[in-house]
Amino acid sequence: MNEQSHVEFKGENMKTPIYMDYQATTPMDPRVVEVMMPYFGAKYGNPHSRSHSFGWEAEEAVEAARAQVASLIGASPKEIIFTSGATESNNLALKGAAMFYRDKGKDHIITSVTEHKCVLDTCRHLEQEEGFKVTYLPVQENGLISLDALKDAITDRTVLVSIMAVHNEIGVIQPLAEIGRICRENKIFFHTDAAQGAGKIPLDVNEMNIDLMSISGHKIYGPMGIGALFVRRKPRVRLRPLINGGGQERGMRSGTLSPPLCVGLGEACAIAEAEMASDNERIRLLAKRFHTAINDRLPEVILNGDDEHRFWGNINLSFAYVEGESLMMGIRDLAVSSGSACTSASLEPSYVLRSLGVEEEMAHTSIRFGIGRFTTEAEIDYAVEHIVKAVEKLRAMSPLWEMAQEGIDIKSIEWADH
């Protein structure tokens, strides 16, 4: 059990720590848990069993879930492959397409420097082990790729472009429809990692000319351990499977499906589809409340990433002259994550923020605040109080803040390396 305690705030009884790490994972929606339960108990059939009602019942549930996933993104159920999660989906999309089309003279992939590690690492693997060439597009200061740079990178050997939909660290939304159009014009497949995008922003695979799309269950209030890959049928995308076996999932992903997980993902998608507009409106209002209050009370706080093309459930802020990890210690009542990788052993500032051109010292001061379906207004107000108090305290003890107040440009000082 998660160790939560209760505090009184503005007359309300609130559970702390307050969960603001929705990009790491979302809590399961209780409605999702409810529909999953029978498949852990009485409904235990193998969906691939064809000779009895146990199997038929499970198959029916899995196929209904497949249709729910498809509906969320405007696809046909036949185009949905269940996987273990977005990491597997991204691996299957990239390696699967790359390896299938390699014999046809296609050995070039285009992606961006700010993709999730599982895309970047897969690309590195294809470069180092399989001889592919990969172009890593830079991003602009606002976190978006340049469409001209994309056009320039395309060659007649390009097989695939992989650009994520909504960014996990800074929340920016890439121009998917424009990327899709460019890819279609050049007869190149377009894959998007929509782990943070599906269910959060309207996505239509046909309108946006998306050929492959990765989806994760636990980022949309569904279960961990399941995801999906959309694989377009017209024009058809062929993939070489990563996992061989009984030929399930149209031969692209063998292995027995888990009906409770499939049903959970399906329900999560159905709820997201039905409630996206109202969820987003709520989240946007909470985000504005949060961001405005912080800005009103604290000078020199920077929002990382484009302020228009973004999903507001992800707010990545740099608090100048305050180090991110000490700030996280100061707001221990909030479950957040540092934009910089300080929590890991590397102690390096985030490669994403560095790619945006954020100065290293500012990249060290960043924290990502996630707002989601279950965030309340009282929680936002409580978070603001805590953040303001902690930042003021840390600035009061920051030599850099002191210098800035004295008008000393910290860049004019010769700092020693260590």
Partner 1 sequence: MAYSDKLIEHYENPLNIGSFEKDDDGVGTGLVGAPACGDVMKLQIKVNPEGIIEDAKFKTFGCGSAIASSSLVTEWVKGKSLDEAGEIKNTDIAEELALPPVKIHCSVLAEDAIKAAISDYKEKSAAIAKGEAAE
Question: Contact between 416 and partner 1 (CB under 8 A)?
Answer: yes
Residue 117 CB coordination number (10 Å): 12
The DSSP symbol for 187 reads T
Run of H or E including 2: none
Q: Of the listed pieces 120-128, 215-223, 320-328, 371-379, which binds partner 1 according to CB under 8 A?
A: 320-328
In the chain, the largest separation of any two C-alpha atoms, in whole Å, equals 80
Say how far apart CA 388 and CA 297 lie, in whole Å: 7
- Give the x/- contact pattern for partner 1 in 349-388, rule: CB under 8 A: x---------xxx--x------------------------
Which one of residues 342, 367, 371, 384 is an interface residue with partner 1 (CB under 8 A)? 342
Nearest alpha carbon to residue 212 among 100, 126, 89, 70: 89
For 234-257, letters b (16+ CB in 10 Å) and e give eeebebebeeeeeebbeebbeeeb
Query: 1 or 396: whose CB is closer to partner 1?
Result: 396
Q: How far apart are CA 229 and CA 56, in angstroms?
A: 24
Compare residues 61 and 390 and give the one whose CB is closer to partner 1. Answer: 390
- Candidate residues 132, 230, 321, 369; the one interacting with partner 1 per rule CB under 8 A: 321
Q: Which two tokens stand for residue 95?
A: 């390696």
Q: Closest distance between partner 1 and the C-beta of residue 329, in Å?
A: 4
- The yes or no reply on residue 282 touching partner 1 (CB under 8 A) is no
Q: Which of 42, 277, 397, 408 touches partner 1 (CB under 8 A)?
A: 397
Q: DSSP assignment, residue 395?
A: H
Q: In this structure, which amino acid lies at residue 288? A: K
With binding defined as CB under 8 A, does residue 99 bind partner 1?
no
Q: Which residues are CB-neighbours of 399 under 8 A, at least 6 positions away?
A: none
Cα 297 to Cα 285: distance, rounded to the nearest angstrom = 18
User: Is residue 323 involved in binding partner 1 (CB under 8 A)?
Assistant: yes
- Residue closer to partner 1 by CB (options 162, 340) is 340
Q: Is 59 in the site for partner 1 (CB under 8 A)?
A: no
**Annotated catalytic residue: which of 123, 262, 269, 342?**
342
For residue 196, the surrounding DSSP H or E stretch is none
State yes or no: residue 304 binds partner 1 (CB under 8 A). no
Q: Is 5 in the site for partner 1 (CB under 8 A)?
A: no
Distance CA 384, CA 391 (A): 10
CA dist., res. 219 & res. 196, Å (int): 6
Q: Which amino acid is at 415?
A: W
Minimum separation from the CB atom of position 361 to partner 1 (A):
4
Least Cβ distance, residue 412 to partner 1 (angstroms): 12
Amino acid identity, position 399: P
Q: Please, what is the minimum distance in Å from the beta carbon of residue 415 to partner 1? A: 3
CB-nearer residue toward partner 1: 71 or 326: 326
Min dist. Cβ of residue 400 to partner 1 (A):
5
| Residue whose token pair is 């196929």 | 63
Q: Has 118 been annotated as catalytic?
A: no
How many Cα atoms are found within 13 Å in the side-chain-facing hemisphere of 131?
6
User: Among the candidate windows 31-39, 191-199, 264-272, 316-324, which touches partner 1 by CB under 8 A?
Assistant: 316-324
Q: Which of 41, 36, 46, 39 is nearest to 246 (CA)?
A: 46
Name the minimum Å distance from CB 355 to partner 1: 16
DSSP 31: H
Q: Which of 151, 347, 374, 408 binds partner 1 (CB under 8 A)?
A: 347
Interface with partner 1 by CB under 8 A: which range of 43-51, 104-112, 249-257, 322-330? 322-330
Check binding of 396 to partner 1 (CB under 8 A).
Answer: yes
C-alpha–C-alpha distance, residues 149 and 10, integer Å: 51
Among 30, 235, 399, 407, binds partner 1 (CB under 8 A): 399
Shortest separation between residue 347's beta carbon and partner 1, angstroms: 7
Asked if 280 touches partner 1 (CB under 8 A), the answer is no
- Count of all residues that appear for the chain in the document: 418
Question: Between 259-297 and 377-396, two packed helices, what is the crossing angle to 10 degrees?
Answer: 50
* Binding-site size, partner 1 (CB under 8 A): 28
120 lies in the site for partner 1, by CB under 8 A = no
Kindly list the residues in this chain that would bind partner 1 in the complex (CB under 8 A): 321-323, 325-326, 329, 340, 342-343, 345, 347, 349, 359-361, 364, 396-402, 410, 415-418
* Catalytic sites, residue numbers: 342
